[in-house]
Structures are given as structure tokens and as C-alpha cells.
Structure 1
């Protein structure tokens, strides 16, 4: 089965991971026009709503977060607004402009409250060097409260590599490595471009190289998963990770770990 989920050019749903495709991670991205609404139901999951662009109001029982949004593109040098919703919570998103919003899902548990995540709460960092430099924004890291969900976004400049050297997190062997499924939701600037992503395991039981276009989704059930960005285009991706233990510990591909010494 292909690990590439193609996006739709029309309709409210831009792209969605088929239900049951992964055990721990769920994902969908939506486009809304001014005045449109999106109902969101957590059920037995926990959710992180990431406002990719535009302005919204998010409301539900006990919360009413008005007029959220401070960027018109994921390629602006700004962190997003996001919202964490624990199991059993219903919410409604109302678009106050043209909007793109992602709904990230993972198994939930009692003991958490709905909360707004403001841009200033998101830790920003620079990872890598040279043509391996990329810009990271932690939206829901393992240092913030949640049951299993981890959410981060990454911008990668033209001609650079990302998630590189290749690394994996598919073995429950803490503190050396954690088991986390993952999805990559991609956007590209300008939007007619593409990036390349490879997902592969040591034994090559998975080995897929994909040309990924704007708003496509890549599924990473296990294995290494580097990204390469062609000259002239910028890359954005939103990572959603979840597994049996909420910790991000990865293992570099030993064939390529020498790159860390450059």
C-alpha cells in the first residue's frame, strides 16, 4: 500500500488519513471559507487543532476562544495558534476568513482540560547546519501535558534536506529509541512545486520514494523518513506522532550517521 495520501483540490477536506490506517495517529486538514464551520468531536481520542492560516473562533462547553489567527501562510516566520482537546469534548470551528486548519488525533485518557496554545508558548529552534538547516516549531512537545500526542511543524529552505540524516523511532527501547507512528502533512511554496520523501526500513520491507505535492500526506508507520527540497521551492510539514509511550527518542541510520561529523 502506498504511503502517499494525495490531497483533494476541492471540498472542505484537503487530505485525511483513512481511519484505522495507523494504530495511534489520526490526521485531517481542512479548508474553510469565511463563515463556514467545522464540527470537531474528540470521542475517545485527544485532539490538537493547528491553525495553519487564517482566523477562526473555536468554541465548546466551557471555552470560547475568539478571533484566533496571526498568519496568512505557513511560510510566514510566525508560530501558529493551536488548541488541545481531551477525550469527550466537542467543539466548533468558525472561519472568520479563508482558513486552513489541521486536526491531529491520538489515543486519549482522562485528566486533561481543553486549552488554547498561543504562538508565544511554542518553542522555536534551528536544527542542522549548511544545506541541512531547517526551522522547527514545537506545538505540543512531550514537555507539555497530553496523553500520547506530539505535534511539531518544520520549515525547510530551498535546496535543503530535512529529517536528515535519516532517523527512525519504531522500536520500544527507551531511553535509546521510542516507538512512535508519524504522519507528514506537506505544503510547498510556490504551491506548484514538489518535494521528495523516502520511507524505508533496515530490511527494506518498506522502501518507498515519493514525489510529494502541496497538501499531500505521507504515512510513516515505521522506518527512516528523510525529506529533500528541490531548488526554488520552500517546504513546510506538520508532524503528528503518537505511540504507547509519549517520548521522542530517535535512532539515526548508521550508514549515514557520518554526516553528523561534517
Structure 2
């Protein structure tokens, strides 16, 4: 199994590259580009669909024959909801930075009759989940009920300092609907202020997989299976961008029984 903690390879350019092959799984890919003004990144999607997420900064985008103009508003992932752009399989895309730009490229197998689509802030209403020190704030980018993709599910979460998230512990590694869906997942983490850190544990019931990681700004955590809670320390807010995909575009999770009581506490 691949190392579950992926560190960025530098501070500029193509700093993160996760493929199904490098992760040792089947569906999810994740890339991160950090561009200076005037720099361009472009790709063919091939047999995969893509969701571009403007983590921070502004950039002009095209997809296929469509010109979407300048996209982006926030200068930090902690400054409100994102702009995003869906690009189907069998197409191409290009983004040229207008400012310093941090661009995430979320990918999974494509299919169906989908079209390039801008996903501006407010497309899906924000959510607040949890209580007390388990509160976190959710921006759905491509949820399962929007019908705009073949397999991609994309969401970002802000966890206030000192809080837990993706908790009580849950998993989605069994193709056992309607009880549970099988989804691979990546977590792209950012901290505010950036010198902070958080923790994430990925583990199964039988502990055949059990890894606890100290997560720093810019790290990616791979979740091939098992439970995957995280927690940030006092003084540092945690942002993460989740990419999920599997054999069915459904997010149905199973709570760990030992901690499920917390939902009713």
C-alpha cells in the first residue's frame, strides 16, 4: 500500500501529483498547481473527468471550446466558498493565472453525457455540521445530488481551531448499498496560520490498517479504506478539500459503533 501521507514537492509549479497508480487504488486522482501571474497549466482529460478548484487566487479558464473568462475571488481557502469548474472526459482545459494562483485538479473516471460547467460560490448552500468541539463548516462543490458528473464527489471543509472533523469516525469502503458505498478519498490540508499542524488517523476495525499522521500545511492524506477522523490544535483552523470516487456516485457512510453514541450525546 502507498504511503498515506503525501508531502508537497516544492512551493511553486506542479507541487502535488496523486494518481490511481501512485496511490495503489482505482478511481481518485489529485494534483495541485501553484502558479505565478501569467503562468499557464493545461491538460487533456482523456477518459477522466476533472473538477478544477480555485483554492486561492484568480485565473482565466477555458474548457473545450468554452471560454469562462477570469475565475476566482478569494485569496485564501479560509476566505469564503470557492469557484470551481467541471470538465468532462474527452475534453481539454487551460488556466492562466491572473494573480498568484493555487489550483486543485480533482479527477476520476468519466462517462455519460456531461458538459463543462462553472460552479460559482453559492451553487450549493453551506452547511454547519456537529456540535461543540465537533463543529465544522462545509462547502459542497460537487455533491451526489447535483447530477453533474459521472463519478466525482468534491467538497471542502473548514474546521475551527481545537475541533475534530470527519468525526465520529466513519468509513465508506464497502459496496453494500443502501448501507454503505465504496469510495476512495483524498484530503488536501491547509492550516491557518500556515505554521500550524493537525492530526489524522486512518484505520480499520481489525487494525490491519492503522496510521496516525501529523498533517502540515499543503499535505495530502490518502484514504483507501477505513475510518479517517482528523483534529486540529488550538490556535490553528484547518481547511481540507475532499475528492471521492468509486463504483457508484453515492456517499453513504458507516459510523464506527464505538463512537456512534456521540451523535445523540
Give the TM interval when normalised to the shorter protein.
Answer: over 0.9
Give the deviation of 1:60 after TM superposition: 3.4
Give the deviation of 1:11 after TM superposition: 3.1
8 Å CA contact 1:14, 1:215 repeated in 2 = no
| Corresponding residue of 2:191 | 188
Moved over 3 A (4+): none
Residue 55 in structure 1 maps to residue 58 in structure 2:
yes
Residue 219 in structure 1 maps to residue 209 in structure 2:
no
Unaligned runs of 5+ in 2: none
| Corresponding residue of 1:92 | 94
| Corresponding residue of 2:138 | 136
Give the deviation of 1:10 after TM superposition: 3.1
Residue 153 in structure 1 maps to residue 153 in structure 2:
no
| Corresponding residue of 1:14 | 15
Are residues 235 and 248 of structure 1, via their aligned partners in 2, closer, same or farther at CA, if it must alter by over 3 Å? same
Give the deviation of 1:18 after TM superposition: 4.1
Instruction: Calculate the TM-score normalised by the size of structure 1.
Output: 0.97
Structure 1 stretch 5-14 or stretch 102-111: which is displaced more?
5-14
Give the deviation of 1:19 after TM superposition: 4.6
Are residues 60 and 256 of structure 1, via their aligned partners in 2, closer, same or farther at CA, if it must alter by over 3 Å? closer
CA RMSD of aligned residues (A): 1.0
2:34 is paired with a residue whose SS is strand
Instruction: Calculate the TM-score normalised by the size of structure 2.
Output: 0.96
1:123 is paired with a residue whose SS is coil
In 1, Cα distance between the equivalents of 2:63 and 2:253?
37
| Corresponding residue of 1:28 | 31
Structure 1 stretch 170-179 or stretch 15-24: which is displaced more?
15-24
